[in-house]
Structure 1
Amino acid sequence: MDPECSRLLPALCAVLADPRQPVADDTCLEKLLDWFTTVTAAGSSLLLLQENPCLVELLFRVLKSQDLSSRILSFSLRLAGIFAAQEDCFQYLQQGELLPMLFGEVGPLGGAAWTAPAVRSGWIQGLRTLAQHPSALRFLAACGAVDTIFSLQGDSSLFVASAAGQLLVHILDLAMRGPARGRCSPQACDWPACAQKIVCHIEDSLCSIATPQVTQALNVLTTVFGHCRGLWTQGLWVRLSPLVARLLEKDPVPASHSLVDLLLSVARSSVPSSDRGLWETLAQTLSHLSPTQAGPLALGILKLQDCPQALRTQAFGILLQPLACVLEAAAQAPGPPGLLGGAAGDPMTADTLLCSKSACVGLLCCALTHLGLLQPLPQRPSPWPQAPLLGAAVTVLRLCSGSVAPTSDVGGRLCAILVGCGRVQRAALDFLGALSQGAGPQESVTQVFSVLLEYLMSPESSSMVLKKAFQATLRWLLSSPKTPGCCDLDPRTQLFLRELLPVLQKRLCSPCWEVRDSGLEFLTQMTRHCGGQAGFRQALLASEVPELTKQLLQDPESYVRASAVTATGQLSSWALLAAPASPERPGAQQKSLLVELLHVLCADSEGFPRRAVMQVFTEWLRDGHADVAEDPERFVARVLQAASRDPDWEVRAQGLELALVFLGQLLGPRGSHCPCAVALPETAPPGTLAQALPEAAPPGTLAQALQVLCRVQLFEFAFRALFDCDRPVAQKSCDLLLFLRAKAAPCGSPQEAGDSPNVASVEATLQRWQAGEQGQPLGYLEPGAVMAVLRSIDLEGLRDTLAESSDHVEKSPQSLLQDMLAAVGVLGENEADCY
């Protein structure tokens, strides 16, 4: 421990043990515990206590005080657990009877402080940390702690109850490490007394008629099989599995959710390799649970790697049954049995669907969600009933919209329950989007396009439903087959697109900003993926969508303006923004967009649109956009000038990203006849560029590039950003300058890049910037001065400093102790380092 910290500790311990002093806040106490954890992990806890007896004195004084706060008592219990985690220190504390007084019945357990959840939580956490060695197990048995943990499983505080269950698992695992080491699964009679006691408690709880106790036992076992890897877990399952199976004989099955979690946890462990009876238990559980309860178990079974085919078939049938019932109920004429992949409508499932709106909605949403999660998995059932599933999803959506008229009473009741239900609509649209990854017959795909168009046109569709409909539509358009022999969309998809664009046009004029935003997001993604396809281009340019998109740059909602910026940027990249240009003014509308986006960057009051502009400009520069390629130097100068003054750190950081792209173009591969038109290096996250530095540029190219970079005032921006108050900006600037210096390093002296500079004034200005005086500009810099300054700055050291946590100074133990003491007036103001 640092000597200065040892000097401050006695005063701090006195403050913590004094009930008259203001209680330190929880954050300080947590930091203090973290520090002691670090100190004891690096050395001997016993030596720490012997060198700092004030710590033991603190624990004794806490026990004697009657009016100490619950937070300090909880802190002390956890602190004692940290020290006692090492066995020699545990013995040392045992000799003074300190541990029994803290964790036994004579301590907080028997006092008024026990009513505070913080104290009970601290007691559990202290024991959890302490229980690391055999001596701790004997102590737990002797002081009666295990019985207390049993009772805390039903604590009124959910945090305490959960921690108690986890502590039981930890104690059981610790107790079994010795007997199970190097041997096969030990017999139950060989288990340590502590483990026997816990297992007997679990057995009693499983046999209880009280559901909460059954739940507690199942949750503990779920944690055991999820986190403990010893062979003894197989013996534990053999012993307890009959009791678990007996729960299925009760009606209703108690704690069904916890039972499902346990069975899946066991199935993912090593138990199935030694107990094939688990598969039978899973099959029985699927049969005994209600349709709603069985869904999560069925999905979990289908995700298992080594599962019997009969069980997989049963589980898949469980997931399909709700949709099979919907298809049968909505059928205009009786269909063949097993409409959906062999699954027929189950009477129990049908009763659940029709008993109430909440039950129907819950069951359908679960079935749609589970099947959607299953669809992309490699272990999904085969054959996959793609066409029936598409039909079921379309049917559910039409029942919700009221556009289907079932002829049966059951279908009519189902339609009455589902009509207008946004929750089912959103789940069905998500599922429909997931099904786009599989092929389907032409008739089914036509029905999909039809129902998507219906939802996008409907005035009854909520903003969230429309967002889901746009997302599903995008997935189906992008997955549509291309015309043989070309990369264009097939005729059916092109027809749908021509019908869709007038609907999108209407949605871009919606009074609801969320709808306008969703429409713009859809347009952006569609353009990004299909901008080069002739059918898409013709349909889009024949519509008013591009012009409406441009008008939304003036939208009153900042989120919409940001999405409009992104969309117009993408349209412009594909030359889709304007009507055919006149011979006199080719590309005039694209040029006006550049001016408009620059105006947004300089004048918009919200950060989101300005960030979007910077991302668009960076993409334009990287991709060689026509307007940028006309005069890249002027473009970069204007953008950097605006970004450098922006109050939003993300805009400034994106400005540095754009500068890095420009720098990569200037210092491109050797042999390039035009430095501004070369292939670009891949950019990397902050802190990584310097680890993958480029090859050096030839001296001639470097000199030309430095002249350009000085003219666009890139270095004014980058040097100022080095001392930005927002760390990500400073990191990006550091990366950019390291990138440049590495390119230039092998080129020799600064004179080779320019005249010999006098850099004293530049360095003086940078020092003032670092001190917080940001007013004075650097002005125009000569290339030689830039290189000299780059060589004089310790960029590597700055990069390492920036990589540290922003509060690394304040997090120092000495600073923490000083601040806690200063808060109660023990230290003078000049001794504190408050944060």
Structure 2
Amino acid sequence: MDPECARLLPALCAVLADPRQPVADDTCLEKLLDWFKAVTEAGSSLLLLQEHPCLVELLFHALRAQDLSPRTLSFALRLAGVFAAQENCFQHLQQGELLPGLFGEPGPLGAAAWVAPSVRSGWIQGLRSLAQHPSALRFLANSGAVDTIFSLQGDPSLFVASAAGQLLVHILDLAMREPAEGRVCPQAWDWPVCARKIVCHLEDCLRSDAAPRVTQALHVLTTTFGHCHGLWTQGLWVQLSPLVACLLEKDPMPAPHTLVDLLLSVARSSVPSSDPGLWETVAQTLTRLSPTQAGPLAAGILKLQDCPQALRIQAFNVLLQPLACVLEAAAQAPATPGLLEGAAGDPMAVDTLPPSKSACVGLLCSALAHLELLQPLPQRPSPWPQAPLLAATVTILRFCNGSAAPSSEAGGRLCTMLVGCVRVQRAALDFLGVLSQGLGPQELVTQVFAVLLEYLMSPDSSPMVLKKAFQATLRWLLSSAMPPGCCDLEPCAQLVLGELLAMLQKRLCSPCWEVRDSGLEFLTQVTRHWGGQASFRQVLLASELPELTRQLLQDPESYVRASAVAAVGQLSSWGLLAAPSSPEQPAIPQETPLEALLLILTTDSEGFPRRAVMRVFTEWLRDGHAEVAEDPERFVAEVLRAAGKDGDWEVRVQGLELALVFLERLLGPRGSSAVAPPSVTARAMRALCQVQLFEFAFRSLFDCDRPVAQKSCDLLLFLRATATPPGSPQEAGDRPNVASVEAALRRWRAGEQGQPLGELAPEAILAVLRSMDLEALRDTLAKSSDHVERSPQSLLQDMLATVGVLGDNEADCY
């Protein structure tokens, strides 16, 4: 321990033990505890206590004092656990009756402070730290602490109850670790006392008629099989699985959701290889649970790599049944293949869907969500019923917008429950988008596009539903390209795209800003993919979309302005913003897209549009946009001048990204090992000085926002590596005068940002780059912002100064 900390420690312990002193806040106590953990991990806890007896006195005071604050008592309990984690220190503290007093029956259990949840939590955390060695196990078995942990499982504080359950798992794992070594699976009669006591408690809970006690046991077992990987877990399951199976026979079944978590935890462990009967229990559980409760278990089973095929079919049926009911309710044509075709079990009749709207909606959303996550997985069921799933999802969407035809009274009730239901619409549109990754009959694909258009054109579609419909439509358009990745679309998709552009004109004029925003995002995406296609260009240029997009650059909502910037960027990249003209009606000169976006960059009061402009400008420079290619140096200079003055750090970072793109155009791509020839370097350096890139980059190097400084460091390292051959430092006689540059950098580092660098000679810049330790700066910047922690000495001084023990000149308060 640092000598100064050792000098301050007795005074701090006296303050903590004095109930009259206002103890420092919880944050200071947490930092103090972290410091003690670090000290004990680096050396002997016993030696620490022998050298600093004030620590033992503090713990004894916590044991005896009746008026100690709950905060301080909780700290003392946790501190005792930190010291006792080492076995020799544990034995030293136990000889003085300190540990039995703190953690046994006579200790805090009888104190008034025990009513505070923080004290009970500190007691549990102290035991968690202490339970690391065989001596701790014997102490736990004999002190009555395990019984207290059992009672705390039902604590009114959820944090305390959860911590108690996790502590039982830790003790069980510690107890079973040694007996399990070298054996296939220890028998129950070989288990240590602590382990037998915990397992007996779990057995009693599983037999209980009280649902909370069953839930507590299931939580402990779920954590055990999820976090403990010893062979002993197999023996534990053999012993407890009959009691778990008995839960299935109770009516109602206790804690069904927790039981599902347990079965999945066991199925992911090593148990299935030793107990094939687990799968039978899972199959029985799927049968006993309601469809809503069974969904998570079915989805979890289908994500496993190895499980019996019959169980996979049963689990898949659970997820498919709600969708099969929807098809039955809509009187699907006989030609539509059945969802459950070839599977074990009968489809659920439509009148067996949950009768309440909330339950029915929840079941459908759950099934759609599980199937959505399952679709991309390699272990998904095969064959995958793509066509029936498409038909069912389209039918659900038609029920929701009122266009489906119910086939029975039960179907009519389903229609009433689903019509206008935004939650189901969103889930179905998400799943429909995922289904675009598979193939389907042309008739069904046509129905997909038809229902998507209905939603996009309907005035009743909510903004969020519209956004989901736009996303699903884009995915289906992309999957309709011939061949995949080509910009040519199938005839059906070509017609849809034409209708979509006509619809977009109305959506961009919507009074709802979310709708305008979603419409612009969709326009940006379709232009990115099909801006070069003749039919798309013809329809777009004949519409009002380019002009509407220009107008939305002045939208009152900043999100819409940002989306309009992105759309203008794409339209301009493809040459789709030119105003139509004819000999009779010549085009009126308009502000160019570059001028319009520069105005936003320099005048918009919100950050979102300015960030969007910088992303567009970077893309334009990278892709060789026509307006930029006319005079790239002038373009870069204007943009960097504006970005350097911007108060938004993301704009400045994007400015550095643009500067990197400009560097790559001049010197070659990053990542290549080639060093630019001297003639290329000379031209590049002149261009970089002309656009004042170094002024921007060096200022950014000392930016108060770390991402900006990191990006600048990357840029300068790339420049130095590319423009300066390694191992060829400049001769001393040829070294240019860099004093003015280095002086300016020192002022900037000190926070004086006013004076510019002025005229820069390329040779001086390269010399400065050679002299800077950019690698060390990069390493410093890569550390998290909290890596400079307050020293222990400073922490102790501040805690003492808070209560007036130290003078102001000795404190380092913040």
In which range does the TM-score fall when normalised by the shorter chain? over 0.9
Q: 2:138 maps to what in 1?
A: 138
Show CA shifts across 1:658-686 (max 9, x none).
Answer: 11221222222xxxxxxxxxxx336xxxx
Q: 2:522 maps to what in 1?
A: 522
Please tell me whether residue 798 in structure 1 is matched to residue 787 in structure 2: no
Q: Residues of 1 paired with 2:366 and 2:349: CA distance?
A: 13
Please report the RMSD computed on the Cα atoms of aligned residues, expressed in angstroms. 2.6
Letter in 2 for 1:371: L
Q: 1:88 maps to what in 2?
A: 88
Q: Residues of 2 paired with 1:397 and 1:332: CA distance?
A: 14
Kindly indicate whether the alpha-carbon contact (under 8 Å) linking 1:299 and 1:315 is maintained by their aligned counterparts in 2.
yes
Letter in 1 for 2:285: T
Letter in 2 for 1:825: G
Q: 1:761 maps to what in 2?
A: 740
Q: Residues of 1 paired with 2:155 and 2:496: CA distance?
A: 59
Q: 2:115 maps to what in 1?
A: 115
Please tell me whether residue 621 in structure 1 is matched to residue 600 in structure 2: no
Structure-2-length-normalised TM-score = 0.95
Go from structure 1 to structure 2 and tell me whether the alpha carbon gap of 1:101 and 1:365 turns closer, same or farther (over 3 Å shift): same
Q: Residues of 2 paired with 1:293 and 1:747: CA distance?
A: 65
Letter in 1 for 2:167: L
Q: 1:629 is paired with a residue of what secondary structure? A: helix
Structure 1 unmatched ranges of 5 or more: 669-679, 683-692
Q: 2:710 maps to what in 1?
A: 731
Deviation of 1:630 (Å): 1.2
Show CA shifts across 1:412-470 (max 9, x none).
Answer: 11111111111111111111111111100011011110111111111111111111111
Deviation of 1:336 (Å): 8.6
Kindly indicate whether the alpha-carbon contact (under 8 Å) linking 1:698 and 1:747 is maintained by their aligned counterparts in 2.
no
Q: 2:54 maps to what in 1?
A: 54
Deviation of 1:832 (Å): 3.3
Q: Residues of 1 paired with 2:797 and 2:333: CA distance?
A: 81
Go from structure 1 to structure 2 and tell me whether the alpha carbon gap of 1:750 and 1:778 turns closer, same or farther (over 3 Å shift): farther
Please tell me whether residue 168 in structure 1 is matched to residue 168 in structure 2: yes
Go from structure 1 to structure 2 and tell me whether the alpha carbon gap of 1:732 and 1:365 turns closer, same or farther (over 3 Å shift): same
Q: 1:238 maps to what in 2?
A: 238
Q: 2:670 maps to what in 1?
A: 681
Q: 1:746 is paired with a residue of what secondary structure? A: coil
Q: 1:75 maps to what in 2?
A: 75
Q: 1:193 maps to what in 2?
A: 193
Kindly indicate whether the alpha-carbon contact (under 8 Å) linking 2:66 and 2:111 is maintained by their aligned counterparts in 1.
no
Identity %: 81
Deviation of 1:779 (Å): 1.4
Go from structure 1 to structure 2 and tell me whether the alpha carbon gap of 1:355 and 1:8 turns closer, same or farther (over 3 Å shift): same
Deviation of 1:564 (Å): 1.3
Q: Residues of 2 paired with 1:437 and 1:581: CA distance?
A: 42
Q: Residues of 2 paired with 1:770 and 1:34: CA distance?
A: 33
Q: Residues of 1 paired with 2:553 and 2:774: CA distance?
A: 40
Aligned residue runs from structure 1 range 171-182, under 5 A: 171-182=171-182
Q: Residues of 2 paired with 1:602 and 1:544: CA distance?
A: 28
Kindly indicate whether the alpha-carbon contact (under 8 Å) linking 2:487 and 2:530 is maintained by their aligned counterparts in 1.
no
Kindly indicate whether the alpha-carbon contact (under 8 Å) linking 1:322 and 1:363 is maintained by their aligned counterparts in 2.
yes
Aligned residue runs from structure 1 range 647-658, under 5 A: 647-658=647-658
Deviation of 1:743 (Å): 2.4
Q: Residues of 2 paired with 1:245 and 1:342: CA distance?
A: 29
Q: Residues of 1 paired with 2:587 and 2:156: CA distance?
A: 70
Q: 2:502 maps to what in 1?
A: 502
Kindly indicate whether the alpha-carbon contact (under 8 Å) linking 1:653 and 1:728 is maintained by their aligned counterparts in 2.
yes
Aligned residue runs from structure 1 range 279-678, under 5 A: 279-331=279-331, 338-342=338-342, 350-351=350-351, 353-482=353-482, 487-579=487-579, 592-668=592-668
Show CA shifts across 1:586-627 (max 9, x none).
Answer: 999897111111111111111111111111111111222221
Go from structure 1 to structure 2 and tell me whether the alpha carbon gap of 1:800 and 1:225 turns closer, same or farther (over 3 Å shift): same
Q: Residues of 1 paired with 2:23 and 2:541: CA distance?
A: 69
Moved more, 746-755 or 697-706: 746-755
Show CA shifts across 1:784-808 (max 9, x none).
Answer: 2212222333323322322333343
Go from structure 1 to structure 2 and tell me whether the alpha carbon gap of 1:86 and 1:581 turns closer, same or farther (over 3 Å shift): farther
Show CA shifts across 1:151-196 (max 9, x none).
Answer: 1111111111111111101100000001100111011111111100
Go from structure 1 to structure 2 and tell me whether the alpha carbon gap of 1:733 and 1:823 turns closer, same or farther (over 3 Å shift): farther
Aligned residue runs from structure 1 range 211-250, under 5 A: 211-250=211-250
Structure-1-length-normalised TM-score = 0.93
Q: Residues of 1 paired with 2:55 and 2:244: CA distance?
A: 48
Q: 2:605 is paired with a residue of what secondary structure? A: coil
Q: Residues of 2 paired with 1:681 and 1:582: CA distance?
A: 46
Go from structure 1 to structure 2 and tell me whether the alpha carbon gap of 1:18 and 1:576 turns closer, same or farther (over 3 Å shift): farther
Alignment match of 1:708 (pick from 687, 706, 722): 687
Q: Residues of 1 paired with 2:785 and 2:803: CA distance?
A: 26
Go from structure 1 to structure 2 and tell me whether the alpha carbon gap of 1:107 and 1:653 turns closer, same or farther (over 3 Å shift): same
Q: Residues of 2 paired with 1:800 and 1:588: CA distance?
A: 55
Deviation of 1:89 (Å): 1.4
Deviation of 1:66 (Å): 2.4
Deviation of 1:287 (Å): 0.7
Q: Residues of 2 paired with 1:824 and 1:650: CA distance?
A: 43
Go from structure 1 to structure 2 and tell me whether the alpha carbon gap of 1:204 and 1:748 turns closer, same or farther (over 3 Å shift): closer
Deviation of 1:748 (Å): 7.9
Letter in 1 for 2:206: L
Go from structure 1 to structure 2 and tell me whether the alpha carbon gap of 1:748 and 1:42 turns closer, same or farther (over 3 Å shift): closer
Go from structure 1 to structure 2 and tell me whether the alpha carbon gap of 1:477 and 1:93 turns closer, same or farther (over 3 Å shift): same
Go from structure 1 to structure 2 and tell me whether the alpha carbon gap of 1:333 and 1:642 turns closer, same or farther (over 3 Å shift): closer
Go from structure 1 to structure 2 and tell me whether the alpha carbon gap of 1:340 and 1:541 turns closer, same or farther (over 3 Å shift): farther
Q: 1:106 maps to what in 2?
A: 106
Deviation of 1:214 (Å): 0.6
Kindly indicate whether the alpha-carbon contact (under 8 Å) linking 1:283 and 1:311 is maintained by their aligned counterparts in 2.
yes
Letter in 2 for 1:732: K
Matched length: 814
